[in-house]
Amino acid sequence: MNDMNDTHEKTDTPRTGNSERAEGTFRSARIDLDAVRRNLAAVRDFVGRGVDTAPRVMAVVKANAYGHGAIAVAAAAQEAGADWLGVADIGEALELRRNGITAPLLAWLHGPDADFSAAIEAGVGLGISSAAQLRQVTDAAAALSRTASVQLKLDSGLSRNGLPESDWAAVFAAARAAELTGSITVDGLFSHLANASAEADAAQCAQFDTGIAAARRAGLNPTLLHIAATAAALTEPAARYTMVRIGIGLYGLSPWGDGLPDGLELTPVMTLAARVAAVRRVRAGTAASYDYTWRAERETTLALVPLGYADGIPRQASGRASVSVNGAQYPIVGRVAMDQFIVDVGDAAVQVGDEVVLFGDPRSGVPSAEDWADAAGTINYEIVTRIGQRVPRSIR
């Protein structure tokens, strides 16, 4: 379907005299860094209850901090005392270093041309998933006369990256030999749970235990042991080991989408908003947006919102999601287009420039990221992470 400029409605004259209607608020993802700090503290307190030694906490800020803005979120997490920060690749890690982030950093997903030398020089910890990567890191560190911080990733059953059990003995021996030359230190072992079931997670933890024991027999002494992301960190004490990785929970969202454990309260960090770009009154029977999937059953008012799938708004949510306009919720009607979608506001007195909140903290009466995930048939992780760069992040 041709997605040309489809603003074929009459645009009202915007109201003036309100600074909130300045150019920068046409679209906005408002990021509450205090919520980041509170969420990190809440999780740290929760996973440390009832134990003599609380696990360390890694704040995961990969993928532009799940769409929230990596530099700002990493700085807030660092200020709040995160023990480590986690990113997927070296490029993400180096961007944080260039912007003043000094906290311990781990990057764990590498292509064949990964710049391990730059990472070592920047003091970035490297997750290693193959014998070839270990050789590359060892050679790079030796050439620099530096010692690289390494964490070996074990495949415990997720079947993605990570060392398969058949490679453990050889890689552990090679890692120990490299340690003796001073090229690397193996500071950690880690893996990732599938979250398929409690039984499956327990089996993966057992496999991880086997790997830990094998590494120690090879002479390695890693102190950072981690397999739990937010879900297991909050529900499976046995999976916490010496560190937990907090991703979606850092951003105030539940990994299950339907609640949190008793005694834990998190605050959504992102509020996605825009300003009404146009308003028009239409007669019963009027069709709207591509394919005419919707027609007005009565005379009604349609409001145009300047966000679309180019901004990360899921087209799958067409006709299914709702937004908040002036404190009341209204349904999206018709297809979500590349740059805009339409809301049926009935007889409400909505004007150009009025605020539209797509999602935020549901305790304030607006839809949640989980509501949008349900409407699009996906998960809340995807809803926040996919918000595009055309939407300014408003940091506060």
Q: How far apart are CA 99 and CA 101, in angstroms?
A: 6
Q: In this model, does residue 2 exceed pLDDT 90?
A: no
| Class of the domain covering 33-251 | alpha beta
CA neighbor of 334 nearest in space, from 317, 310, 353, 351: 317
Position 258 confidence tier, pLDDT thresholds 50, 70, 90? confident
Give yes or no for residue 147 having a pLDDT over 60.
yes
Confidence at 177, pLDDT banded by 50, 70, 90? very high
Write the pLDDT tens digit of every residue in 278-290: 999 999 999 999 9
pLDDT at 7: 35
Please tell me the total number of residues recorded for the chain in this structure: 396
pLDDT tens-digit series, residues 326-345: 999 999 999 999 999 999 99
In the chain, pLDDT over 90 holds for what percent of residues?
93
The full set of domain ranges for the chain reads 19-29+269-395, 33-251
Q: Is 301 strand, coil or helix?
A: strand
Assess contact for 233 and 39: CB atoms under 8 A. Answer: no
Q: Which are the catalytic amino acids? A: 62, 290
pLDDT score of 256: 93
The first and second tokens of residue 371, run together, are 């509501």
How crowded is the C-beta side of 120, counted as CA atoms within 13 Å? 23
Give, rounded to a whole angstrom, the gap between the first and last alpha carbons of the chain.
39
Contact between 100 and 79 under an 8 Å Cβ cutoff? The reply is: no
- 240 carries a ligand binding annotation: no
> What is the average per-residue pLDDT within 176-190?
98
Q: Is 30 annotated as a binding residue?
A: no
Q: How many CB atoms lie within 10 A of CB 85?
A: 29
Superfamily of the domain at 19-29+269-395:
Lyase, Ornithine Decarboxylase; Chain A, domain 1 (2.40.37.10)
Cβ atoms 160, 194 nearer than 8 A: no
- Average confidence (pLDDT) over 339-362: 98
Sign for the pseudo-dihedral over CA of 70, 42, 28, 293:
positive
In the block, which residue shows the tokens 């933890």? 205
